Chains A and B, each alone.
Chain A
Amino acid sequence: MRGPLEFVDPARLESHTLGMGDPVFDAIDRLATLAPGWDSYGAPAIEREALERARWCLSELRTRLGAAYREPEVGPDVGGGVELIWEPARGSYEVHALVGAGERFKVLVLRGDTLLTSAPAKSIEFLAGVLTRHLQP
């Protein structure tokens, strides 16, 4: 069974590791330094594959969304993945993408403290569409 990001070309992943000096890519790279148990409740370390997938996602979103693209907050996910969070300049939406190794690629949309959507992301197009719908000013 193909995972949602299995279409990623490894050669292109390598190119995304060259984004040194890019603040968001650097924030993703820093997650690799977290030791197991970083959340104080036993979370595993962040997997290298998840870091690469998160970099790839951001590169694709920058290209696909163009001027509408906004940088996310970057944080660790308890499943050994990366959590990307976008918030519009106005309004109370939050779009969360949980990017993990293997099959894990999930999107959550909240308005305030109400969960509107929780769905597996089928593709990068799906996430780009969610961001376009919810983050327009």
Chain B
Amino acid sequence: MATPLAADDEILAGRLFRRIQNFKSRFNEKIRRPKIGAFRPDPADQGELSVHLEDLVSQETVLAVMAAHPLLHFFGLCALDVAVVRAVMAGRSRVIYKPDTTDPQLGHAHVVLTNLDDDELQAVLLRHAHVLVEPQHLK
């Protein structure tokens, strides 16, 4: 049985989920891909980009939470492979377990990618993200 994760543990493998807001500035309808802003962390997060770890929450659960929430209802979802991200980042960003006690539904699966205030690293995520669900009714 795998050892339970503790806060600040580094994640080495698995799949991460990131929501895509339903704005035309966040999703390119022509090529059906996210835009770079979808991977830009809030300044208050000091370069840490929030994602959720599939090992701790299933895609179905994430989508069910989104479907039930009025803000998230039309958001999309993309996935990032941790091993791929780690390989292409080559140490410039780390994947760290950081449970969020303010989110009772998904907070136990909260993970961050560090150093994502760097636009170049945002573009790396853009390149390697797989769209699972496209955002709807783009504004």
Contact = CB atoms under 8 A, between A and B. Distances in A.
Does chain A bind chain B? yes
Interface of A: 30, 37-44, 73-79, 83, 85, 94, 96, 108, 110, 113-115, 118
Given A38-B71, A41-B50, A118-B120, A113 B23 contact: no
A40 B72 contact: yes
Contacts, number: 66
Contacts of B120: 115, 118
A113 B37 contact: no
A75 B43 contact: no
B58 interface: no
Contacts of B114: none
Contacts of A42: 42, 44-45
Contacts of B8: none
Nearest to A108: B119
Size bracket, chain B contacts: 20 to 34
Given A73-B24, A75-B24, A77-B37, A114 B42 contact: no
Nearest to A92: B31
Contact of A79 (B19, B43, B122): B43
Nearest to B129: A113
Contact of A113 (B40, B44, B123): B123
Nearest to B66: A40
Contact of B36 (A37, A43, A108): A108
A78 B71 contact: no
B130 interface: no
Contacts of A79: 42-43
B43 A115 contact: no
A113 B129 CA distance: 11
Contact of A39 (B21, B24, B35, B123): B21
A39 B25 CA distance: 12
Q: Which among A76, A79, A108, A115 has the highest number of chain B CB atoms within 10 Å?
A: A115
Nearest to B102: A42
Contacts of B126: 113
Given A77-B37, A96-B37, A113-B127, 12 more contacts: A39-B42, A40-B21, A44-B42, A73-B25, A75-B23, A75-B26, A75-B37, A77-B40, A78-B37, A83-B37, A110-B123, A115-B119
Contacts of B15: none
Contacts of B41: 41, 78
